[in-house]
């Protein structure tokens, strides 16, 4: 299995409502999207998809009791400057997200905060001086 991720699918209650949230953050959907059914966003060399949680559960043959809760997954966006953490969290709140944890310094010398999207999916916003961000936003770990 190659060492890469092609797509992250977020199961959502309402694809259009979720799409509008990400569009208010400035994201633009691919024309591969199907209104009301599925939305795709190019995200670097990968894609983020918004799809009905029922459809995702059925497709994966997994039970879904419908409750909102901790999904044990967090997406993160690493930002270029320490002060960008608070700025992105504020943008997310203004777009209708929920501030999950205000930004604060970390014990590893960075700064992080969290917001959740309209379906409660966790997003971390992080400034990490130990990881390299390329001009195009690609993140490079130490090998």
Which residue from 14, 17, 101, 110 is in contact with a second copy, where contact means CB under 8 A?
A: 101
Pick out residues in 59-78 that bind a second copy (CB under 8 A). 59-65, 69-78
Query: In the complex with a second copy, which residue's Cβ is closer, 36 or 138?
Result: 138
In the complex, minimum distance from the CB of residue 15 to a second copy, in angstroms, rounded to a whole number:
13
Among 27, 86, 110, 118, binds a second copy (CB under 8 A): 27
Is 50 an interacting residue with respect to a second copy (CB under 8 A)? no
Name the one residue in this structure whose structure tokens are 């390329």: 134
Q: Strand, helix or coil at 59?
A: helix
Whole-number Å distance between alpha carbons of 113 and 88: 9
What is the dihedral angle through the alpha carbons of 91, 96, 101, 107, rounded to the nearest 10 degrees? -30
Among 40, 50, 85, 103, binds a second copy (CB under 8 A): 40
Q: What are phi and psi of 86, to 5 degrees?
A: -65, -35
Using CB under 8 A, which of 17, 20, 43, 118 touches a second copy? 43
Q: How far is the CB of 139 from a second copy (least distance, A)?
A: 4
Beta-strand relationship, 38-43 and 7-12: unpaired
- State how beta strands 98-105 and 38-43 pair: unpaired
Number of residues that bind a second copy (CB under 8 A): 72
- DSSP letter at 34? B
Q: Is 81 in the site for a second copy (CB under 8 A)?
A: no
């Amino acid at each position: 299995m190659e060492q890469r991720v092609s797509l992250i699918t977020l199961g959502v209650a309402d694809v259009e409502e979720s799409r509008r949230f990400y569009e208010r953050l400035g994201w633009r959907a691919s024309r591969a999207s199907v209104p009301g059914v599925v939305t795709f966003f190019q995200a670097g060399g990968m894609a983020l998809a918004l799809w009905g949680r029922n459809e995702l559960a059925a497709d994966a043959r997994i039970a879904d009791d419908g409750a909102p809760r901790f999904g044990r997954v967090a997406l993160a966006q690493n930002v270029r400057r320490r002060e960008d953490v608070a700025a992105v969290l504020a943008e997310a709140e203004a777009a209708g997200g929920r501030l999950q944890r205000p930004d604060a310094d970390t014990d590893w010398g960075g700064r992080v905060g969290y917001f959740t999207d309209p379906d409660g999916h966790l997003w971390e916003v992080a400034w990490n001086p130990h990881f390299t961000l390329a001009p195009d936003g690609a993140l490079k770990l130490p090998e």
